Structure 1
Amino acid sequence: MTTLLITGATIIDGVADKPLTDSAILIDGGRIKAIGHREALDVAPHVRTLDLAGKFVIPGLMNANVHLLVNASLETLLRFEGRYEALIEEAAQVALKAGMTTVFDTWGPRRALINVRDRIESGETVGSRIRCAGNIIGFDGPFSPDFFGKAAEIASSWFVDRVNAAWVENSGRHLMWMTPEQVGAEVSRYIERGIDFVKYGATEHGAMAAGAFLQFSERTQQAIVEAGRAAGRTVQAHSTTVEGLRMSIEAGCDLITHCNMTGPVPIPVETLDLFERTQCGAVIFPVTEAGLAHVKGAVSDLEWTMWSAGDKNARRLIGSGAPILLGNDGGVFAKELLREPWLKATWNGMPEQEALGRLATGHFAWLRAMEEKGMPAMDLLHAATRNIARAYKLDTDLGTLEVGKIADMVVLDKDPLEAADHYRSIHAVIKGGVSVDLDALPERPLLTAELAPPLEEEANFKRFLVHGTRLPGCPSCISGGH
């Protein structure tokens, strides 16, 4: 690794209350060797110097909750069967191009994620640094009622089982029948397969009751946390109710995913106090005002009450004393999926500028949403960097610009402390002391590639029923839809 001297920029290191001006950063061996006035640094002759006058340098952005293979639809998993690692690698490069030098994948196919993680770590391929949980403990695979159960009615049982097994292995819904001790033993076995942290379902994923059912008892949740601790792993929970949230914090979780989403019921004051006392990380799913307007007009009244409560929770969490973490379920969606009319009637159908769940841009929408809700500018930076590193116990190496830490940083054209939208003004990304060739990413576009041009036959294709005016007849039998 080469030595690099960065000069001229305003440095927002994530430690000091104010930016550092008239300072330089010396990088050696992929880590920060020194920060200070240029004249005071011990710099060898002919060191490569990067003059960033007028720019702003911040720590590499992080994302506490992504899904590098979120597009787990039947069409995608059939089309790319045997190439899931290529999709994950593409997504890791999309994340890196968007300024995220480290991402935490909280649900996906364990072996494929680990293989890509290790190739990036060794330098064999480029991409955002990956830490992964594999499956969510207690959930079944993509082709189950927990996610996309309809696929099991269409695809062969051979393919359905093959896909579900790639995600679940020994960590699925069958654990709900077991004693706490048995569940803890199964979690320990799953950890031995190489995952970086543990994520479990405190509540179900909406398959039966919109997320209201508790997935595991308090004793079982404690057994899962203890199994993770014994193996030196952080533990987090998926929670969608106020009781699930309380139980997860009391079980000793390090962070809770989308903790502001508690159904139609706001988080009680005593649970907000519990966040502050334990310093459990609060991964929030905020939506911009424009995004909320779309959701209100697109979803059912039941769903809207949940989003409305989630918005109130996000605002209250800002002043609660809980460490707030940026996370957005970010993933790469296939272009053909984004064209589907039904998608617009979901939270993933928000206009692109507001869409929280996009891997390439959703973190920018997150920052603007939290700015709109009153989160101070420096706290926004901490939520996207330092707080995540601390929650995952990686702050010795990551999260701030300090001597001895890995040299991950983002160079911005505009001051992020002036406006959250300025995080979009990425000038350069440096990961491990090496400048990233942003124009080259992703190297092998798959889901990000343009759709194939129309077939010759499509010009002559006549639909049996066209979109628009319905034909006379029973409306439940003839919808006129696709």
Structure 2
Amino acid sequence: MRRPTERVLVNLALYDGVDDALQPDRGVWIGADGLIRAVGPVDDVLTEAGDVPVVDLDGEHVMPGLTNMHVHLSLGLPGHLADTVHRSNLAELVLLMADSARRTLHAGVTTARLVGESRYADFALRRGIEAGAVDGPRIFTAGHALCCTGGHGWEADALEADGADGFRRATREQIRAGADLIKVCISGGIAGQFEAIDTPQLHDDEMAAVIQVAHDWGRKVTAHAGPADSVRRAVELGLDCVEHGYELTDEVTRLMAARDVWYVPTIVVSRCEQFFRDSGVPGWLMERALAAGPRHWESLQHAIRNGVPIALGSDMPPHAGYDETSATVRELEFMVDAGMTVADALKAATVRPAQWLGQADTLGTVAAGRHADLLVLRDDPTRSVSALRTLHTVIKGGVVYRDDHCRLREPR
């Protein structure tokens, strides 16, 4: 089991997740408990830390670890990915997910929100990560996604239900298993062969049943959703977050902003042709995904323009290669290309997800008392989110999990 090492990082330029401007000549004191003890001007931090070992970062850039809010560690798109998942027994599935979790962490994602996994393996994996037996990000999970009979995701182990009572029971089953949130599929999507993106799949009483039970138990609800009308109905019923939103309108995004309903656009999934080819997905899926791209892009622009709170989520494996970077970083670049400021995009990957998850006092920023989840980059992220392409060091909870320059190598 890896344990945090107390140290002070000095000679660094800091993006702390709060101040949009870069803070030069900063120091960060990481405690032996994996929490940040102090942040500030180097001399002040060194004085406070005393004889704690010091690591000089040579003027490089430090920022909070990323949070990816749309992750499937047991991703089973039609094709060989689904075949691998479905052929696996439970032990094999957990190992496959553990490998994806390790790669996700190495890609700079220190927190992941899982929005639909298989056979409750995510809970076993979370326990392994928390115990230090497995390297991976902090996990907040929905357990199984919920869908109607034959609805979106049923082939990927979404839990099928029908009627308000059926969805109440399915929601309670995820909470019983330990779900931190609930994910419900309210329309068709890209990966369902016998549906269209704009196919409505839940009645109002079914959506209301999920939302009411989840809220009664202190859980938020996020919805896989494509068409604007399905989103509108769910928002009016009290939905907390929209995934994908392939066909949002100006009117619906205004409603989302007014109701403080969040949006996780996953814009990469409608423009990742090479990933689909490499994954061996059937032609109909790739054609549907790429055809959705222009309208999906408009949806994101509507949301940005109307002030919808937006959080980063890739849907693709966070670590998957994309245009010589990861899907997570490419998603951020697309968000900026669509009109989001660099400052807002960085917050969408750090402090804002922490707020949605109810973890703003522990995650998402570099501040005293927060978990020491830190990334070290060569370039300045406040100038361009593409600086994340120069990531070379990943720290989670004061433990170094990636250290390309061997400055912070951990004893085992």
Q: TM-score range by the shorter chain?
A: 0.7 to 0.9
- Residue 21 of structure 2 corresponds to which residue in structure 1? 18
Query: Please, which of 80, 85, 89 is the counterpart of residue 88 of structure 2?
Result: 80
Query: Could you list the per-position Cα deviations for residues 196-221 of structure 1 after superposition, in whole angstroms to 9, with x for gaps in the alignment?
Result: 21000111344443132222222321
- Residue 48 of structure 2 corresponds to which residue in structure 1? 43
User: Alpha-carbon deviation of 1:417?
Assistant: 2.2
- Residue 329 of structure 2 corresponds to which residue in structure 1? 364
User: Alpha-carbon deviation of 1:251?
Assistant: 2.2
Moved more, 250-259 or 403-412: 250-259
Is the 1:255–1:391 contact (alpha carbons within 8 Å) kept by the matching residues of 2? no
- Residue 280 of structure 2 corresponds to which residue in structure 1? none
Query: Please, which of 148, 152, 170 is the counterpart of residue 186 of structure 1?
Result: 170
Moved more, 212-221 or 273-282: 212-221
Query: Could you list the per-position Cα deviations for residues 336-366 of structure 1 after superposition, in whole angstroms to 9, with x for gaps in the alignment?
Result: xxxxxxxxxxxx9xxx5349xxxx8101111
AA of the residue aligned to 1:353: Y
For 1:392-431, list aligned pairs within 5 A.
392-431=357-396
Is the 2:313–2:328 contact (alpha carbons within 8 Å) kept by the matching residues of 1? yes
Percent identical: 26
- Residue 72 of structure 2 corresponds to which residue in structure 1? 67
TM-aligned CA distance change 1:131 to 1:414, over 3 Å: same
CA distance in 2, matches of 1:66, 1:366: 13
- Residue 237 of structure 1 corresponds to which residue in structure 2? 223
CA distance in 2, matches of 1:93, 1:129: 11
Query: Could you list the per-position Cα deviations for residues 364-420 of structure 1 after superposition, in whole angstroms to 9, with x for gaps in the alignment?
Result: 111221222222111110111112111222222111112211111111011122222
User: Alpha-carbon deviation of 1:45?
Assistant: 3.5
Instruction: Report whether the alignment pairs 1:58 with 2:23.
Output: no
Query: Could you list the per-position Cα deviations for residues 147-202 of structure 1 after superposition, in whole angstroms to 9, with x for gaps in the alignment?
Result: 586xxxxxxxxxxxxxx7xx45xx31xx22x2x24522431133111122100011
Is the 2:271–2:293 contact (alpha carbons within 8 Å) kept by the matching residues of 1? no
AA of the residue aligned to 1:11: L
CA distance in 2, matches of 1:323, 1:278: 10
TM-score normalized with structure 2 length: 0.85
Moved more, 57-66 or 315-324: 315-324
Query: Could you list the per-position Cα deviations for residues 424-470 of structure 1 after superposition, in whole angstroms to 9, with x for gaps in the alignment?
Result: 1112111001111457xxxxxxxxxxxxxxxxxxxxxxxxxxxxxxx
Tell me how large the CA RMSD over aligned residues is: 2.9
TM-aligned CA distance change 1:328 to 1:44, over 3 Å: closer
- Residue 442 of structure 1 corresponds to which residue in structure 2? none
Is the 1:85–1:116 contact (alpha carbons within 8 Å) kept by the matching residues of 2? yes
- Residue 198 of structure 1 corresponds to which residue in structure 2? 182
- Residue 105 of structure 1 corresponds to which residue in structure 2? 114
Which segments of 5 or more consecutive residues in structure 1 lack a partner in the other structure? 150-163, 334-347, 440-482
For 1:283-294, list aligned pairs within 5 A.
283-287=264-268
Matched positions, count: 386
CA distance in 1, matches of 2:346, 2:290: 29
TM-score normalized with structure 1 length: 0.73
CA distance in 1, matches of 2:239, 2:270: 31
AA of the residue aligned to 1:184: R
User: Alpha-carbon deviation of 1:88?
Assistant: 0.6
User: Alpha-carbon deviation of 1:102?
Assistant: 0.7
User: Alpha-carbon deviation of 1:291?
Assistant: 5.8
CA distance in 2, matches of 1:95, 1:312: 29
Secondary structure at 2:355 match in 1: helix
CA distance in 2, matches of 1:133, 1:283: 15
User: Alpha-carbon deviation of 1:22?
Assistant: 2.0
Which segments of 5 or more consecutive residues in structure 2 lack a partner in the other structure? 277-282, 405-412
For 1:430-445, list aligned pairs within 5 A.
430-437=395-402
Is the 1:185–1:227 contact (alpha carbons within 8 Å) kept by the matching residues of 2? no
User: Alpha-carbon deviation of 1:89?
Assistant: 0.5
CA distance in 1, matches of 2:148, 2:326: 28
Moved more, 385-394 or 324-333: 324-333
CA distance in 2, matches of 1:230, 1:145: 25
Is the 2:270–2:293 contact (alpha carbons within 8 Å) kept by the matching residues of 1? no
CA distance in 2, matches of 1:65, 1:229: 20
Moved more, 323-332 or 112-121: 323-332
Is the 1:253–1:280 contact (alpha carbons within 8 Å) kept by the matching residues of 2? yes
Query: Please, which of 80, 99, 102 is the counterpart of residue 90 of structure 1?
Result: 99
AA of the residue aligned to 1:32: I
Secondary structure at 1:371 match in 2: helix
Structure number with the higher strand fraction is 2
For 1:261-300, list aligned pairs within 5 A.
261-262=246-247, 267-287=248-268
TM-aligned CA distance change 1:438 to 1:76, over 3 Å: farther
- Residue 235 of structure 2 corresponds to which residue in structure 1? 249
TM-aligned CA distance change 1:88 to 1:303, over 3 Å: closer
Give the greater-gyration-radius structure (CA): 1
